[in-house]
Amino acid sequence: MIRFDGVTKRYADGTVAVDHLDLEVPTGEITVLVGPSGCGKTTSLRMINRMIDPSEGRIMLDDVDVRTIDPPTLRRGIGYVIQQAGLFPHRTILDNIATVPYLLGWDRKRARSTALELLERVGLAPEMARRYPFQLSGGQQQRVGVARALAADPPVLLMDEPFSAVDPVVRASLQDELIRLQAELHKTIVFVTHDIDEAIKLGDRVAVLRVGGKLAQVADPATLLAAPADGFVREFLGRDRGIRRLSFVADTGLRLRSDLVVPVTSDLSRVAGVAADVESPWLAVVDEDNRPLGWVAPADLPRAGTLRDVRPLPYGTFVRGKDSLRTALDAALLSPSGCAIAVNGDGRVIGVATRESLDEALALAASEAPEPHDAPVREDADG
């Protein structure tokens, strides 16, 4: 575990970049430092690997003050990823990844085979190994930056705005990749960003800093969204906080109805009766394999033939037990019925969440939100 104990950094010109920071970074988790420009995120990060030393306080790494460890030894156990990857332009991708293993004196064969493995691990084709950084896209370079940081298998990874320089689509895929890698590797990661959405997506814990280097709040993302500590944090989280919080609420509180689901083989002469029996204007149609086909409104259908003869209307699904209440709600909003079709991991329909059940689940989620730390404010208040 990494622990900041009353850490202050005052630069030579008197700027206080970090002010009495107390923060724990648990082992094997992603802790995100987030906050507006100049709030001391990078300074905090660089004090961990001693690129900067604190003016006061100490940083403990597994109960050892990092200032008692000489920087090269310290950095061997700490991978470092920066914006725009910072690759060596005149070295091949393979040699870039193998940089630290070479420095550690590994034999070339072992260093290179480790580098090749990592190349694949971060989602790049082996052909990339012989290329030079300028022959890669920004997103690919960033992946190489991550591979390079992982090469000596350090337990700790420091990532300073690693995905900020790429476009939003590439950025989202790099974030997904990091989540996937972390599920395998369980590194202790400190990740710096100024983007609160990135912080909420990646962080097991999110530390929000304010300008002047003071910690405003540290919490898991769901708690942060539900109960920001003060007006600054609330403002920084931005709009749609309530909706975004639903991403962290399980869908398992949703009651499902199976009586609104009918097979495509059903006779049209009977479906109006089924709809009347279940008191619903809409029925969800499934194929012989129980996969969703869409919604029908039996009252509007002819009375001859089967459901195969009609074209069902669009639908949205959510995966029961995997997706969040937010995804279920979104699925409902994409359906003319206002209901969401629940499927299992194989994509087979297991029921329908009606508006009533969504309503109940939303009410429950609202009632389970932690108490806000301070009084509610008006939408237009500046906090």
Ligand X SMILES: Nc1ncnc2c1ncn2[C@@H]1O[C@H](COP(=O)(O)OP(=O)(O)OP(=O)(O)O)[C@@H](O)[C@H]1O
Among 13, 63, 107, 288, binds ligand X (CB under 6 A): 13
Q: Does 40 bind ligand X (CB under 6 A)?
A: yes
As a whole number of Å, the CA-based R_g of the chain is 26
Q: Does 194 bind ligand X (CB under 6 A)?
A: yes
Q: Should residue 39 be labelled a site residue for ligand X when binding is judged by CB under 6 A?
A: yes
Residue 41 contacts ligand X per CB under 6 A: yes
CB closer to ligand X, 17 vs 226: 17
By CB under 6 A, which span of 33-41, 243-251, 269-277, 358-366 interacts with ligand X?
A: 33-41
In the complex with ligand X, the residue whose CB is nearer, 43 or 357, is 43
> In this structure, what is the dihedral angle of CA atoms 121, 124, 127, 128, given to the nearest 10 degrees?
-110
Nearest distance from C-beta of residue 16 to ligand X, angstroms: 8
Is residue 82 near ligand X by the rule CB under 6 A? no
Please say which residue, 17 or 178, places its beta carbon nearer to ligand X: 17
Residue 59 contacts ligand X per CB under 6 A: no
Of 83 and 92, which has the nearer Cβ to ligand X?
Answer: 83
User: Does 17 contact ligand X by CB under 6 A?
Assistant: yes
- Cβ closest to ligand X, residue 13 vs residue 289: 13
Is 54 an interacting residue with respect to ligand X (CB under 6 A)?
no
How many residues touch ligand X under the rule CB under 6 A: the total is 13
Residue 145 near ligand X by CB under 6 A: no
CA geometry: angle at 68 spanning 62 and 74, to 5°?
Answer: 65
Taking the complex as a whole, the smallest distance from the CB of residue 233 to ligand X amounts, in Å, to 16
11 binds ligand X (CB under 6 A): yes
Q: What is the dihedral of CA 43, 48, 54, 57, to 10 degrees?
A: 130
Question: Binder to ligand X among 15, 27, 137, 252 (CB under 6 A)?
Answer: 15
CB 382, CB 235: distance < 8 Å: yes
Residue range at the interface with ligand X (CB under 6 A); choices 34-42, 55-63, 78-86, 103-111: 34-42
For 90, residues 6+ apart whose C-beta sits below 8 A from its C-beta are 132
* Contacts to ligand X by CB under 6 A: 11, 13, 15, 17, 35, 37-43, 194
